[in-house]
Every structure is written in C-alpha cells, then in structure tokens.
Structure 1
Amino acid sequence: MAERMNNSMEKITEEKWQAIINNDETYNDKFCYGVKTTGVFCKPSCKSRPPKKENVEIFTNADQAILANFRPCKRCKPNNEHLPDNEWVTVVTEYIDKHFGGKLTLEKLADIAHGSPYHLHRIFKKIKGVTPVEYIQQVRLKQAKEQLIQTNIGIAEIALSVGMPNLPYFITLFKKKIGYTPAQYRQMKLMEDKDDGTKK
C-alpha cells in the first residue's frame, strides 16, 4: 500500500508532461494521470483541454487512480469502461454547486466532465429532468433567495455574487421563476417575519 501511494504521488517528469500536452498515444500503456481540480483521470492521449501542471497526479495504472478516488474520463475511457451516466452527471452538478458564482457555459462544463456539450446536455436532462443551464439558474436563484432573506446586501451585489452580473437580466429571470422581483421577494419575507413575530 505504501508503495502504491508513493507511485501515485510521484512528481510529474518533463517526459510525461510532454506526453500529456501532446496527446501521445504511445504512453497510454505506461501511465495515466489524474486532475486534482476535477477528480477525473485520463490516458495521456486524451483530447480534453490540458490541465495545469500543478494539478496533475501520475498513476501507473487505472486501478491506482480509482483507489485514489479519481473517476475515469468519459471521453478517453482510461479503464476501458464508461463512467455511468448518473455518476457523470453528479460530477457536473457538484461542480456547478461549488462554482455557481463564476462564468459557467455548457462548453466549459463538458470540458470539465470530459465529454461533448451535446452529449452532456442530453444526458443531464435525461437524469435531472432539466438542462445544465436550467440547473445553473436554479442554483443561482436559490442562493440569491437565501441572501435576500438573510442579509441586507444590495440586489446588484447579490446578482454579482451568484454569477449573474447583468442586473436587468437577473431581475427579469428572478421574477419569471419566483413570481416576484428580488425587491418584492425581500419585502414579502420581511413582512412574513414581522407577522410571525406578532403571532407568537
């Protein structure tokens, strides 16, 4: 076990790094690599966007990567198996839940999940019942509702913090999905709290 851990933590050599960034198929049977930021591992020949060098961990084989809690890439299938669709979608939803405040596009999510945008859109909707874009909106609006109730932060600042810097769009989407503008929603919740206080 100690030997396995040592192998998995080995520093990436220049030779292996060049194999990764050049998608060199001749190295596929020599090692695979995990990307710490996504939790996915790949063959050197994987055509996904190259990771940052400091985020790469080297493994002698797929079993080591799996033991280190990395998931196989959906695109290059480093353990020659498909990642089950529900697990693949879980990778994407977890990423959205953590990074909803940043710029998220279908292309970026597909790249992170190591698949095509079309395939991701189709499988995500099949499993979650909503598209990735709709799920992103749900997460952002849920966070915005919490901030409107729990803080006195301005609406423009809340919009920015949940990844929607276009204030008119944020207000329009909020009203369409929630039934109130952000200001109306905040006022309504304040009134409900006051009513609850007088009833007790």
Structure 2
Amino acid sequence: MLYIAFLKGINVGSKNRINMKELKSKLIDQGFKQVTTYINSGNIILESELEIDKINECISKLIFKQFNLEIPVVTRKKEEFDFLINTKPYSNKQIAEIGHDKSYECFYVAFLSLIPSKEEIDKFSKYKSEVEDFSIYNNNIFLLLSCSIRESKLSRQLIKLDKNATVRNWNTILKLKNISDQMVL
C-alpha cells in the first residue's frame, strides 16, 4: 500500500537537520519500497505492508537512531490523501481570491495524529475570524488564511489540538499527489 508520511519541523533554519537523501536510503534499508522524498521539509512517499502506527513508529525510531532527533511523524494512506484533496471545503475561486496579490501562501492542510474531540474543536473555533477560516475532516484541518501563517492565530493553536500536528501548503499537497499518482505499485 502507498503512504504519504509527514515529518514535523525538520530542516527549518538550523534546527532538526536531516539529510533527506540519507533518510531515504535508511528507509529502503528498513524494508520500505518506492521511497520518494519531496523537498527538505519532510515529505515522504513510500510503499509498505505495515499499518500506519507501525510506519510512524519505525520512521521515528530510525530518525532517532540515525540523527539523534525526536521527530513526530504523521502518515496518510494514499487513498485517504486523494480523498482529502478531492473534497477540499474551499473552491479554487475562494482560494484564488484570498491569495490574490499576496506574497505568501493562503491555503494549508494540517495533519493531526488524532481526531480532535468536540470540546477541542470548540476551543479551536474561538480563533476563527474574518481573515482566518478552517474546516475539519477527521484528523485533517484545512486552513484558509488572509494573513501569513506566521501571523495566524489559528495555526498557533494547532499544537493545543495535537502536539504532533504538521502543516503543508496546498502547492506541496498537489505536488505530492502528482508524484504519488505517477508511482506504480
């Protein structure tokens, strides 16, 4: 089965440096197949017969052993990832209107390791505003922002929903879909 794994907080500035080529090689040594990485921010497409929890655990342990870093990993099955893309809650027009004349990305997906409770979602909802909107699908949160993600109150609250949450912009999501679509199982 094909999976997309997201590593949280690697290769950001001088923190949590991981050579993706080396990581890819080590993942292949661990028995993963068709391992492909995309950019240095920790996006991995791979084939495995393991369940998601075991994939996350295996990658985390490997990173700790090889790089001495404790890095959260959140993984999605390719089918779930594709469904997520196909059912995005915002139209291309809405995204384009928000992003018009901006020098930064406006549309993101946060991948959580857990499905948030209603109480957690209610707390998170308090940070929704005219310039920051979100929609939750299972353990994924779509963020549509009129401000930079660095200025976003919603994005700063993600850690309260899930300490392992990791965020990718929509362009990265689409590129990962394109790469994974071309992989043959």
TM-score interval, normalised by the smaller of the two chains: under 0.3
More helix by share: 1
More strand by share: 2
TM-score by length of 1: 0.23
- Which of the two has higher C-alpha Rg? 1
Which of structures 1 and 2 has the larger relative contact order (alpha carbons within 8 angstroms, sep 6+)? 2
